[in-house]
Chain A
């Protein structure tokens, strides 16, 4: 609806110059035309929002001009302000009509790396808003804003600002690592010279950047490791002495915090110091399609060294739309290469989401998008860090096919997985890091059902005629990606005022350090922390004791109070975010993908805690794709709910 792409600069000149030249009666007509145009383009509400900022400012400016120039000059001042508003509206039409990706692309021509920064910033802005909303939601869920005076409410809201900043920094670091591992900071290689590019640009043709074409790797792909990863205190978190060859799938196992993800980051060529760790030794990769032999200690590299799919898909997608994510990942622009994208989207069942924004996709869909766009067949080494956690069975089969195909090409695939039952069938080599874990049976217990405690709400995504939930019930919700499992928990929580735990623990962590987080877990503890006098009230003492007992049960008592929350492992953050829920002792506990990022031992401890909660009379609702958890739920006498084809139904037997 805006001015066409190639006439934007003449349009900009027109909207600035024309209001200065027009007579008053024509100026009114021009302004009315612009208003009508913008109304059709963005809607009345957006125009009202725009005028809420600019109209008062213009009026105030006009009043000041009147004060200095004398009230007898009011027609001139009025005309001046009208011209100003007309010019502003014209420029705003241009701003509304240019998609941000066009600005990024134009920017990249002059300053390529800052262009990447701009792209990341565009992705971060909606995420920052979301993150602020999660934090306010968490405050409300923990009972902070009930009955507080406005001033105290404001003070509480202000207290989450440092935690919000630290979370945003962590997210930005993740995005930066993703950018680097994909070689997006590298100078672009173009097939044609400058002259040809100018001709193509003038004719409006697509210009394709050179990429590395997928090929069959010979048996030259090798990854040699002889290194040790150490924490700042000198504690070793992994000693690796391996020679991994192409044409194999390596399954990497180990407890949480044993350095699996750090090793993968290191092989991916991104900052190995997710936390300030130091790397001693050497790592060597041969068979890279562009660099050939790579000594990883020579990094950072401009090129992508390996294809790295990290944990938490919502923290590693770069673009503001599905299509743009593909364009960036595969460096696509021409119509033929777009075909490649469409085929890939169809394979990963994302075709209908082509125009969607990544933040509107479910976790599973975001994971599929990340895999579809970034599993680069040209890279000999694939590093999959818990890549299958959010995937349903169909998604995992698709991933399995891609992995096996890559192995057949001669590529090397390193997989980190806590729920390794799925991978054991296709893995060629199994490697253990840290203490070797014994195969852990999940603790099961049978709890008699009690009184009715609730019923899930009807949702836009599905309808149901489910029997009510009773005290002590264990309910496992299953369903394909995007069917509405998380929506069920979110809406249930909102309707029945129940606390719920999303998959990403960061959505429920408020503090910058462990101490701040523990204080912000309960209003009484927070009030206590603000007092100068360190003597605890009786109520605060009682809550602090309960919190300490739960920390001990969840294996969190060893944490230093000054540790930044984002330096903790995913498993530790997950358990920390579960604490306030257990402290409230709600009638129904709503937990989304509880097994994400947890090793077997930690998960067993958590499930044992859940069993205890059930015995105390709470019902527990868990969503999961894991076959292990399904088996556990059945052994515990749990109920299985399945969302399919817009219906939520109980699976009998």
Chain B
């Protein structure tokens, strides 16, 4: 095997699928390792857990409707508020958790990658998706992005088919066969955006609000002043209790 044969193989359908998978895997894997090292607070770990639990529970809840589930919207909102790294973590945990109920397979890996890409996109497009101070989410651009991801998500997951069948024709058949499901996913995403996005936005703001507290090394000035006044008045009271305090005795005794 030489470099030319590797190059030739890399341009075949199977080769493209493999290097794309590797590229995505390495990129999002590095994000995962990074977020794992950055978690210092239990609350951060728990927030990621909560979002993954809510997302996977809702996916299982809507399992009866093919491809209609709010996970894509969840990940979009998480990317928007908490950034690409945490969205990647939630994406992976959601794929793992929900497939514990729905069944694991090669798609678990591709779903994790696709949702991580969803979160990354909303993190990058954040200026377009929220108002100037980040207090309100813009429903229209978000719904549009969610609609687009309804199709893109399923095509990324279909990469597994390209890797298995090693032919563009089979891959295209796979994509065309799934178009109805993709459309259902996209329309479902738009509906979920209208219904759930405002309350999710409020929830993530609530979380941020809890992080607003800080530890200052010094006591506040009014407390110090109050303490000083109290100490002075105590000392004053002590002096008043002992009228002879400070008077030097002539015989030198104590």
Chain A positions near chain B (C-beta within 8 angstroms): 50, 52-54, 56-57, 60-61, 64-65, 68-69, 87-88, 91-92, 94-95, 100, 103, 107, 111-114, 116-122, 124-125, 128-129, 158, 161-162, 165-166, 168-169, 171-173, 175-181, 184-185, 226-228, 230, 232, 236, 239, 270-282, 297, 299-300, 302, 512, 564
Contacts and interface: CB of A to CB of B under 8 A. Distances in A.
B158 interface: no
Given A125-B56, A165-B200, A173 B43 contact: yes
B49 interface: yes
A177 B218 CA distance: 25
B219 A91 contact: no
A638 B236 CA distance: 55
B40 A185 contact: yes
B103 A114 contact: no
Given A111-B36, A128-B54, A121 B49 contact: yes
Interface residues of B, number: 62
A480 to B, nearest CB: 33
A173 B103 contact: no
B43 to A, nearest CB: 4
A226 B227 CA distance: 12
A45 to B, nearest CB: 14
B211 A113 contact: no
A373 to B, nearest CB: 17
Contact of B223 (A120, A158, A228): A228
A50 B195 CA distance: 29
Contact of A64 (B102, B177, B196): B177
Residue with the greatest number of chain B CB neighbours at <10 A, chosen from A61, A120, A276: A120
B43 A281 contact: no
Contacts of B177: 61, 64-65, 68
Nearest to A69: B173
17 contacts: A68-B173, A68-B177, A114-B32, A114-B48, A118-B93, A121-B48, A124-B53, A162-B203, A165-B54, A172-B46, A228-B219, A271-B211, A275-B210, A278-B214, A280-B223, A297-B215, A299-B215
Contacts of B206: 166, 169, 564
Contact of A95 (B35, B54, B103, B215): B103
Please list the 3 inter-chain residue pairs (A to B) with the smallest Cβ-Cβ separation, ordered nearest first: A273-B213, A176-B46, A180-B42
B42 A118 contact: no
Contacts of B97: 118, 121-122, 125
Contacts of B57: 125, 128-129
B239 interface: no
Contacts of A564: 206
A50 B35 CA distance: 34
Nearest to A161: B199
Contacts of B45: 113-114, 116-117, 120, 176, 179, 185
Given A100-B100, A121-B50, A125-B56, A176 B42 contact: yes
B105 interface: yes
B217 interface: yes
Interface in B178-205: 178, 180, 195-196, 199-200, 202-203
Nearest to A174: B46
B234 interface: no
A624 B178 CA distance: 59
Contacts of B180: 64
Nearest to B223: A228
Given A53-B102, A95-B99, A179 B215 contact: no
B56 A282 contact: no
A88 B207 CA distance: 39
A512 B200 CA distance: 12
Contacts of A176: 41-47
Contacts of A277: 213
B214 to A, nearest CB: 5
B52 interface: yes
A239 B223 contact: yes
B88 to A, nearest CB: 10
B105 A280 contact: no
Contacts of B103: 50, 54, 88, 91-92, 95
B46 A278 contact: no
B53 A180 contact: no
Given A228-B220, A272-B213, A273-B212, A177 B42 contact: yes
Do most interface residues of chain B lie in helix, strand or loop, or is the interface mixed? Answer: helix
B1 to A, nearest CB: 25
Contacts of A232: 212
B141 interface: no
Given A117-B93, A128-B57, A169-B206, A278 B215 contact: yes
Nearest to B55: A121
B49 A172 contact: yes
Contact of A175 (B46, B199, B220): B46
Interface of B: 32-33, 35-37, 39-50, 52-54, 56-57, 63-64, 66, 89, 92-93, 96-97, 99-100, 102-105, 173, 176-178, 180, 195-196, 199-200, 202-203, 206-207, 209-220, 223
A227 B215 CA distance: 10
A120 to B, nearest CB: 4
Contacts of A56: 66
Given A162-B203, A279-B215, 9 more contacts: A88-B103, A166-B203, A169-B203, A172-B43, A176-B45, A181-B42, A226-B219, A270-B42, A282-B217
Contacts of A299: 215
Nearest to A63: B177
B210 A271 contact: yes
Contacts of A239: 223
Interface centre among A56, A118, A185, A239 (most CB of B within 10 A): A118
A63 to B, nearest CB: 9
A172 B66 contact: no
Contacts of B102: 53
Nearest to A20: B164
A300 B219 contact: no
Nearest to A127: B53
Nearest to A88: B103
Most central of A88, A176, A274, A282 by chain B CB within 10 Å: A176
Contacts of A281: 216-219
A35 B172 CA distance: 33
Best-buried of B43, B195, B211, B214 by chain A (most CB within 10 Å): B43
A119 B35 CA distance: 17
Contacts of A302: 40
Nearest to B67: A57
**Max count, chain A CB within 10 A of own CB: residue among B35, B39, B46, B50:** B46
Contacts of A50: 103
B43 A113 contact: no
A196 B18 CA distance: 35
Nearest to A125: B53
A232 B66 CA distance: 47
B31 to A, nearest CB: 11
Contacts of B207: 169, 173
B43 A180 contact: yes
A562 B143 CA distance: 28
Q: Which of A277, A281, A302 has the most CB of B within 10 A?
A: A281
Contact of A114 (B35, B210, B220): B35
B82 to A, nearest CB: 13
A581 to B, nearest CB: 27
Contacts of A114: 32, 35-36, 39, 45, 48, 89, 92-93
Contacts of A297: 215, 217
A323 B13 CA distance: 49
Contacts of A111: 32-33, 36
Contact of A185 (B39, B89, B178): B39
Contacts of A107: 96
Contacts of B104: 91, 94-95
A179 B39 CA distance: 12
